[in-house]
């Protein structure tokens, strides 16, 4: 029996006979060095105007300010927990900026920066962490999925959505955001394999922030890099300096353009560092040193980009003050919107699940009704 006879519909033969063509270089692509000086790298051109540069900087500053206010709100008991993006602003903003308006993104629980670029109100993200409701933004309006708390499951959502888009002939690319820890999960493996087999227009953006909660990358994988895993799925792997917003944008743009042209998925590893705790429930001093943190603080993505913009005359003091004022206003808006926000009716848990609910379902709802009534001081 020939290969064509057993090949699923929509699947083409392997496009590369040389696996080496899929391998990334060991050194991540870097366009801005640690001092903010720009260097050309073959194959990764920039198509950004000055206004784009200012927007990238603005999104990074807004992300950091929203992040800080979110931690403050959690410390004041207004959020159940919060997962910071401090240090990962370039990886998130640069990658999201490489998407076009019709594209989709499927995030994990840490993507405040990517959400801002997609136009999602940050307070909507915080209502999830407050427990006001499972999600407070319309995924279709912003083409940004709901936050995914289980590790790696959003990769499956992204791969499936991209496969559906391909079958529909839709002109869109899907980006899946997850961390290095998720690459050890079966969900991510299945998503990468399916996307490759069906040549789905999907880009898997791995933010390698060095830790899966407290487990360092060196104890997560024997692969040379995360991007090297791509060859096992038959897709190209790319590595970029995730603290360099321009490198992240250029590498992601190449992967997105490739997917849009029908050349299938890609795996992008953005090498970065989580400068805060895993979440506000974590104590990072138990598993990393002050010296390590100080070394990555020296590579701060916003400070590096600001040095470049000011050197090139793209960012002046007035514009920087304007952005800082917008960030302060955003923080104020977040506080006003989230502080003491009322929770929804827990009974909504039972809505939109069954067309014809089973008998046990009614019993469970009655049990919740009795518990809520008891808490409110009524008759049990």
| Dihedrals phi, psi of 330, to nearest 5 degrees | -65, -45
Q: DSSP assignment, residue 332? A: H
How big is the CA angle at 277 (ends 282 and 212), to the nearest 5 degrees? 80
CA gap 217, 271 in Å, rounded: 11
- The Cα 359–Cα 302 span in angstroms is 56
Distance of CA 127 to the CA centre of its chain: 18
CA–CA separation, 266 and 282 (whole Å): 32
The span from the CA of 167 to the CA of 279, in Å, is 38
Phi, psi of 291 (to 5 degrees): -65, -40
Residue from 322, 339, 256, 353 nearest 74 by CA: 339
Catalytic residue list: 274, 278, 287
- Quick one: tokens of 366? 């009655």
Strand 211-212 and strand 104-106: the pairing is: unpaired
Task: For strands 266-271 and 237-241, give the pairing.
Answer: parallel
- Spatial CB neighbours of 202, under 8 Å, sequence gap ≥ 6: 158, 159, 162, 173, 174, 175, 176, 195, 259, 265
- Per the DSSP assignment, residues forming a β-bridge with 29 are 240
What is the rounded CA–CA span in Å between residue 125 and residue 116?
10
Neighbours of 25 (CB within 10 A): 11
What is the C-alpha to C-alpha distance for residues 239 and 70, in angstroms, rounded to an integer? 30
Alpha-carbon distance of 107 to 96, in angstroms, equals: 11
Give residues with Cβ within 8 angstroms of 169, minimum separation 6: none
């Amino acid at each position: 029996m020939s290969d064509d006879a057993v090949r699923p519909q929509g699947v083409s033969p392997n496009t590369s006979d040389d696996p080496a063509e899929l391998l990334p270089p060991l050194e991540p692509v870097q366009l801005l060095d640690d001092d903010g000086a720009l260097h050309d790298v073959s194959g990764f051109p920039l198509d950004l105007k000055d206004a784009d540069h200012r927007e990238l900087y603005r999104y990074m500053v807004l992300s950091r300010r929203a992040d800080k206010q979110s931690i403050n709100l959690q410390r004041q008991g207004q959020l159940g927990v919060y997962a910071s993006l401090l240090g990962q602003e370039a990886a998130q903003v640069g990658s999201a900026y490489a998407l076009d308006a019709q594209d989709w993104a499927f995030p994990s629980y840490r993507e405040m920066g990517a959400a801002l670029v997609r136009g999602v109100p940050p307070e909507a993200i915080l209502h999830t962490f407050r427990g006001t409701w499972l999600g407070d933004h319309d995924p279709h309006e912003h083409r940004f999925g709901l936050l995914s708390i289980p590790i790696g499951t959003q990769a499956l959502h992204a791969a499936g959505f991209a496969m559906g888009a391909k079958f529909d002939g839709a002109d869109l690319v899907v980006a899946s955001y997850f961390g290095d820890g998720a690459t050890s999960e079966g969900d991510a493996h299945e998503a990468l394999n399916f996307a490759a087999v069906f040549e789905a227009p999907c880009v898997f953006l791995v933010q390698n922030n060095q830790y899966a909660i407290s487990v360092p990358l060196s104890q997560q994988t024997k692969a040379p890099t995360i991007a090297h895993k791509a060859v096992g799925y038959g897709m190209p792997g790319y590595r970029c300096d995730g603290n360099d917003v321009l490198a992240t944008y250029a590498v992601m743009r190449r992967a997105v353009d490739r997917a849009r042209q029908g050349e299938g998925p890609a795996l992008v590893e953005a090498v970065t560092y989580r400068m805060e705790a895993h979440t506000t429930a974590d104590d990072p001093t138990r598993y990393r040193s002050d010296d390590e943190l100080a070394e990555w603080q020296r590579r701060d993505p916003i400070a590096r980009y600001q040095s470049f913009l000011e050197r090139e005359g793209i960012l002046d003091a007035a514009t920087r003050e304007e952005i800082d004022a917008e960030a302060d206003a955003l923080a104020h808006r977040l506080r006003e919107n989230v502080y003491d926000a009322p929770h929804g009716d827990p009974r909504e848990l039972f809505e939109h699940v069954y067309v014809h609910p089973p008998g046990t379902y009614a019993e469970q709802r009655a049990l919740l009704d009795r518990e809520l009534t008891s808490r409110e001081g009524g008759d049990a």
